Amino acid sequence: MRAVNDDLMDTNMNCIMRNIRLPFWAGLLAITMFLHATAQAAAAPSAFVTELTNNAFAALRAKDISEAERFSRFRELLSEGVDLQRVGRFVLGPNWRRANPEQQAEYQALFSDYVIAAYAGRLKDYTESKYTISKTLRTGENEYIVKTLFVHPKNPEPVHVDWRLREEGEALKVIDLTIEGISMALTQRSEFSAIIQQNNGDIGALIERLRNISADINAGKEVTVSQ
Amino acid sequence: MIDLVSLKNSRRVCVLALSSALLFSACATAPSPDDKDAYAAYKEANDPLEPMNRAVFAFNQGFDKVLLRPAAITYRTVLPRPVRESNTNFLDNLESPVIFLNDLLQAKPGRASATLARFVINTSIGFFGFFDPAENMGYAYHDEDFAQTLGYWGVSSGPYLMLPILGPLPPRDAAGFAVDILTDPLTYVFDDHREVNYALYGVDAIDQRHQVLDEFDELERTSVDYYAAIRSLYRQRMNDLIRDGETDLDNLPDFDEEY
């Protein structure tokens, strides 16, 4: 379960190197082929994270376009790169089953709006940061965790961000983001559960709250004071 | 500041008095175990005093709005960044004895010696801890306290508890907090000048608050339920600190659960 690609590569490299009876050219060929295969397997998840981060930051930072255009670019990237349907179901937890099909559809649409609006704000503080990818863990047959370190120019303390990725068909998708050990999906799940509990199990109350908050967040975007 | 001071000073009494007095007044009504989902959600929240905790949280938010946050903003506005960083370094260095003790109590000799090296280097070459040359020598700062030590040896946090001014402190962490103060040499060094300790607590609170000004503003603005967000955040962060930042691969959230 816990295979780290780097370790795998080291072990295999050592085996190949130690086998001195192999003719030189065969050894070289084997190494080249092996490196090629490993590089492909290891690069995909980290390359995905690099591309998504760079594009999302570029969208949020873009100066020559309107706020609306900036937001729509960000929305497009997130809809593409995050499995919002799966995350939405996880975040609703057992309440998903209790919702009727119309509620489920309405919830999913509002959840996507909410996540995109909330993260356009939350990630803004990070867009000036430099980041490095520290390692990629393979956590399941089609799952990875890419560990990254974000350093803000104004803060010497690096922030640990883990990207949990899943292969959906051909494409990789983000299913969770963990910042300093805090899973965004788990946090949202407990918030949503609290809202439903406070309203005696009424899923309609959560749907109403999501509708209002997305509107509020979008309305407040320009007036946010940043120091 | 007087309240903060007296609370911190008599923390044990306070924790006990508060939790027992309020236990009787404001318990959440647990849903019937027959309602499986509601009951599971209630168990997962592990917050039987939620109505009281929410009230205390509202009070703390008021305290933050009126005092702590403005103080932190002023602090950030008035002092240039290098000065603020030096203050953080200085306060971090003062924690070293407690961190060292808890490194040992968790049987982590490597981390203990790193803490010791940091303390020696930063107190001397780092000019009483205002600078952090140890970091560049390969001894990066890490946090430890007695609550983490208890957690490391398997003590669970107990039900969520929100205390006035002090914030989230479930029983395990409240006990840890008390032990930290009792095992901190500074508590005894300034025995006759208690005001020095109080001043340090105050500066520490402002220093910590100013580091997360933007993050918490943004979180409050974008949260569906800010109280529940903080509750979840606090627990996850404590667990992360207890694991020294290692990912708990056996307990990742399950995105495939079927309902």
Best mutation target, A150, A190, A198, A214, to test chain B (most B CBs within 10 A)? A190
For A86-120, how does the pLDDT look when each residue is reduced to its tens digit (9 = 90+)?
999 999 998 999 899 999 999 999 999 999 989 88
- pLDDT for residue A120: 85
Best mutation target, B77, B224, B226, B257, to test chain A (most A CBs within 10 A)? B224
Q: How many domains does chain A have?
A: 1
B249·A2 Cβ contact <8 A? yes
Whether A116 is covered by a domain: the verdict is yes
Of residues A94, A139, A181, nearest to B249 (C-beta): A139
| Number of CB atoms found within 10 A of residue B33's CB | 11
Best mutation target, B232, B234, B237, B243, to test chain A (most A CBs within 10 A)? B232
- Specify which residues A136 forms β-bridges with: A146
Percent of chain B with pLDDT over 70: 88
Whether A195 is covered by a domain: the verdict is yes
Whether A115 is covered by a domain: the verdict is yes
A87·B215 Cβ contact <8 A? no
Q: In B, which residues are within 8 Å of A223 by CB distance?
A: none
Which stretches in chain A have pLDDT values below 70? 1-43, 220-227
- pLDDT for residue A221: 55
Q: Please name the helix (run of DSSP H) or strand (run of DSSP E) that holds residue A139, with its range, or none.
A: strand A130-140
Specify the CATH number for the domain of residue A206: 3.10.450.710
Whether A188 is covered by a domain: the verdict is yes
Is this complex's ipTM strictly greater than 0.90?
no
Question: What is the biggest distance separating any 2 CA atoms in chain A, rounded to whole angstroms?
Answer: 74
For B219-243, how does the pLDDT look when each residue is reduced to its tens digit (9 = 90+)?
999 999 999 999 999 999 999 999 9
Which DSSP letter does residue A200 get? T
Q: Output phi, psi for B200, to 5 deg.
A: -65, -40
Residue B55 in contact with partner chain A when CB distance is under 8 A: no
What does the alpha-carbon distance between residue A80 and residue A91 come to, in Å, rounded to a whole number?
19
Q: Which domain holds residue A59?
A: 44-218
Residue B229 in contact with partner chain A when CB distance is under 8 A: yes
What does the alpha-carbon distance between residue A79 and residue A116 come to, in Å, rounded to a whole number?
8
